[in-house]
Amino acid sequence: MSHAFRIVASKPGGVDVLREQTFEPVAPAAGEILIRQTAVGVNFLDVYFRTGLYPWPVDQNLALGSEAAGTVDAIGDGVDNFSVGDRVAYTVANGAYSTHRTIPAAQVVHVPDDVSDTDAAASTLKGLTARYLLHDSFEVRSGHTVLFHAAAGGVGLIAGQWLKAKGATVIGTAGGPAKCALAAENGYDHVIDYGSEDFVERVAELTGGAGVDVVYDSVGHDTVPGSLKCLKTHGTLVSFGQSSGPVEGFKITDLAAGSFHLTRPTLFHFAADRTWLENAANELFSLIGSGSLKISVNQTFPLKEAAKAHEALEARKTTGCTVLVP
Ligand SMILES: NC(=O)c1ccc[n+]([C@@H]2O[C@H](COP(=O)([O-])OP(=O)(O)OC[C@H]3O[C@@H](n4cnc5c(N)ncnc54)[C@H](OP(=O)(O)O)[C@@H]3O)[C@@H](O)[C@H]2O)c1
């Protein structure tokens, strides 16, 4: 076995808690496969776990990372849908910042020839998130007007292209002119620089005072109060993250301002359904393979330098997707 290592957080904290840990990959048990990983996606979720914002599932040494791609190295008994040498990807909470991964085959999907390992590692979590946000949490249809925050981020650039293909009018927000320009190249009809403009006022102008059908809000603390003000009557707020911090002071009666709908979804509840996972991954990878959906991997770091990737993501210095290379 080649030198195997993973990046773990020794305790909740800053990037200084990240450590390299060597280990002996576990031979796959029944129903499992061993993957030799070639690319690992970085997500804001990894920051939430590292800082302790999300409760730790272990006492110490939490291996971070929730999406990766690679090649099947070994298969356990009873696994009949994968063979040694297959190219695969997965998204499950934690354990992905690693050179090797032993994992239940039920959590893994095939990667087609026309999708690179890098794109698969960058998009399995983020692209499947865009899939459920736009199809399952709220079914976006042609003619809908949508507000999507953090439009130049990993999920944001994928969602913009997908929303445009669905025929929606897509309004994005992003921090600074360069990010706004990038979002505009990725499906957004209008991009508001929420660092220098009042996005509530701008959305009102852009919609003639009507508001939007749905707001996708992953920024949380800094945006949710304004997001509710951007909705039309009976509109839907999909709150799916908190990159600026947890939402404070929200009351159920806030929804009475427009008989609003609210949902707070998590990808892993969708991906746990094998039929959903296979259908959604097929759809995602078909769009990528055909060139209809571009995955922008704009930052790449060696796996050993995961701390630098976290620093860049938390400092809002990244755009699109970030990938670690084992
Ligand atoms: N619930 C789910 O199933 C699910 C799944 C995937 C992702 N998510 C969430 O979706 C969001 C996007 O994830 P991602 O991995 O693609 O990250 P990302 O969008 O690439 O990065 C987060 C972005 O949030 C914006 N932001 C606003 N305020 C911030 C602050 N105070 N600190 C840091 N960033 C801030 C920044 O963009 P600007 O500079 O343009 O503001 C930053 O680039 C995250 O909140 C993540 O947790 C949720």
The CATH superfamily label for domain 5-124+268-325 reads Medium-chain alcohol dehydrogenases, catalytic domain (3.90.180.10)
Ligand 1 atom closest to Cα of residue 220: 45
How far is the CA of 77 from the CAs of 29, 31, 53, in angstroms?
Answer: 7, 6, 38
Cβ atoms within 10 Å, residue 127: 29
Whether 192 is in the pocket of ligand 1, judged by its Cβ within 6 Å, is no
Whether 153 is in the pocket of ligand 1, judged by its Cβ within 6 Å, is yes
Structure tokens at 129: 């998130």
Å from CA of 146 to ligand 1 middle = 17
**Per-residue pLDDT reduced to its tens digit, 181-208:** 999 999 999 999 999 999 999 999 999 9
Å from CA of 156 to ligand 1 middle = 8
**Confidence at residue 283, expressed as pLDDT on a 0 to 100 scale:** 98
Region 97-122: what's the mean pLDDT? 98
Region 143-151: what's the mean pLDDT? 98
Å from CA of 311 to ligand 1 middle = 13
Average pLDDT, the chain: 97
How far is residue 95's CA from residue 17's CA, in Å, rounded to a whole number?
Answer: 16
Query: Probe ligand 1: pick from 15, 42, 43, 44, max atoms within 8 Å of CB?
Result: 44
Domain positions in the chain are 5-124+268-325, 142-264
CATH number belonging to the domain at 142-264, selected among 3.40.50.720, 3.30.420.40, 3.40.50.880, 1.10.3720.10: 3.40.50.720
Whether 109 is in the pocket of ligand 1, judged by its Cβ within 6 Å, is no
User: What angle separates helix 117-132 from helix 154-165, to the nearest 10 degrees?
Assistant: 60
| Partners of 5 in beta bridges | 22
Whether 314 is in the pocket of ligand 1, judged by its Cβ within 6 Å, is yes
Whether 244 is in the pocket of ligand 1, judged by its Cβ within 6 Å, is yes
Measuring CA to CA, which residue among 315, 319, 313, 320 is closest to residue 65? 313
What percent of the chain clears pLDDT 70, i.e. is strictly above it? 99
What percent of the chain clears pLDDT 90, i.e. is strictly above it? 98
Specify the pTM.
0.98
**Residue nearest atom 42 of ligand 1, based on CA coordinates:** 316
**Confidence at residue 2, expressed as pLDDT on a 0 to 100 scale:** 58
Structure tokens at 309: 């990737």
Measuring CA to CA, which residue among 158, 191, 171 is closest to residue 320? 158
Q: Is 303's pLDDT higher than 80?
A: yes
Query: Probe ligand 1: pick from 219, 269, 298, 314, max atoms within 8 Å of CB?
Result: 219
**Confidence at residue 3, expressed as pLDDT on a 0 to 100 scale:** 86
Q: Is 1's pLDDT higher than 70?
A: no
pLDDT band at 60 (very low <50, low <70, confident <90, very high): confident
- Can 5-124+268-325 and 142-264 be said to share one CATH topology? no
Angle at 126 between CA 151 and CA 83, to 5 degrees: 155
